[in-house]
Amino acid sequence: MSVHYLDAAGPDGVRIYAIGDVHGRLDLLARMHDLIAAEIARDRPADWRVIHLGDFIDRGPHSAGVLDLLARRSQEDPRILSVVGNHDLGFLDFLAVPEVDGLFMNHGGVETARSYGIALDARNPVALAAGWSALEAAVPGRHRDFLAGLPYSLSFGDFFFCHAGIRPGIPLSQQSPEDLVWIRQAFHHAGELHPKVIVHGHTPNAEPEILANRVNVDTAAWQTGRLTALVIEGVEKRIVQAIAPA
């Protein structure tokens, strides 16, 4: 059994907001949350969920603030949900073992450390070790616990939410964690419909990518100043964006 985007429906009575990669843009995430709160107050849906699709940190300037906001709001309201991204796992890996050539150091980890008030210098092993020690002490336990406790996927109605995508032909319940946070080519090039429509981020596009079998809401917020969300309510779908002032 498979489903086409045009026919796919969310659960009865539940409005869903699925938000793409934040990458340290606390300003855009806060703006998106305000937009969502205003819509919910105006429309009063019977129920709702807000799903963040991972990659909360790195590259942008305020990773620590993003994690603080998400950890707090998810604790305050169980309808605020998130799945883990590869950058989030890379952060946890670096806190455990400070590899100079790992994902964290090579793809925006310096900016994440800076958001905690820590400078990392990969050119000098002694300096890097000192920076890692300071960062390890600076990251609150609630940030680590939040990231470590995140699922790799969520499913509501005819939609499957994950960070990167799925391995085509493999049942959704049997997808590997690595594929859910890393896959690109095999997933992007698959033309067949899947058991559910896959809603994901991970691969930045200038505009949201809406196809028959998947929706990509990663619009490179850290660079473009545009954070994108897919809104699902029954069979109705629409895009909303939080945009930084010019």
Q: What is the pLDDT of residue 71?
A: 98
For the chain, percent of residues with pLDDT exceeding 90: 98
Q: What pLDDT does residue 122 have? A: 87
User: Could you report the per-residue pLDDT of 119-177, keeping only the tens digit for each?
Assistant: 999 888 899 999 999 999 999 999 999 999 999 999 999 999 999 999 999 999 999 99
Residue 61, judged by CB atoms within 10 A of its CB (0-12, 13-18, 19+), counts as middle
Termini Cα distance of the chain: 46
* Residue 207: per-residue pLDDT: 96
pLDDT tens for 175-186 read 999 999 999 999
What would the pLDDT profile of 52-95 be if each residue is shown by its tens digit? 999 999 999 999 999 999 999 999 999 999 999 999 999 999 99
pLDDT value at residue 1: 84
Please give the Cα distance from 109 to 90 (Å, whole number). Answer: 9
Local confidence band at 246 (pLDDT 50, 70, 90 cut-offs): confident
Mean pLDDT value across the chain: 97
State the amino acid at position 239 in one-letter form: I
CATH architecture type of domain 14-85+152-243: 4-Layer Sandwich (3.60)
Domain ranges of the chain: 14-85+152-243
Which pair of structure tokens corresponds to residue 9?
């429906």
Percent of the chain having pLDDT more than 70? 100
Contact 55, 23 (CB under 8 A): yes
